[in-house]
């Protein structure tokens, strides 16, 4: 797992690779679905790179992340 934990805030930052995002609407759809997961504090999705950065209270279950990305209409490749 490549998640990083900030010991001052106990926040975990994880970067995922997602395929299929091509525009701002795509970024918004991914942000919306991932933000709905328990413990997620923020989500940054960048269509140009396919990278999605998630800050959460604790490490997220990858199956839940995969399901959320799938629900948005895209494919989770995995953590980077």
pLDDT, tens digit only, all 80 positions of the chain: 567 766 667 899 999 999 999 999 999 999 999 999 999 999 999 999 999 999 999 999 999 999 999 999 999 999 99
DSSP labels, 14-41: EEEEEES--SHHHHHHHHHHHHTSTTEE
Orientation of helix 24-35 relative to helix 62-72, angle to 10°: 140
CATH, domain range 1-49+73-80: 3.30.70
Task: Show me where the domains of the chain are located.
Answer: 1-49+73-80
| Residue 78, both tokens | 């995995």
Apex CA 75: angle with CA 50 and CA 39, to 5°? 80
pLDDT for 28 equals: 98
d(CA 62, CA 73): 16
């Amino acid at each position: 797992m490549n998640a990083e934990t900030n010991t001052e805030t106990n926040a975990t930052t994880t970067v995922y690779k997602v395929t299929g995002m091509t525009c701002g609407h795509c970024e918004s759809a991914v942000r919306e679905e991932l933000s709905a997961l328990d413990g997620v504090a923020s989500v940054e999705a960048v269509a140009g790179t396919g990278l999605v950065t998630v800050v959460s209270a604790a490490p997220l279950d990858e199956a839940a992340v995969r399901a959320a990305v799938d629900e948005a209409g895209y494919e989770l490749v995995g953590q980077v």
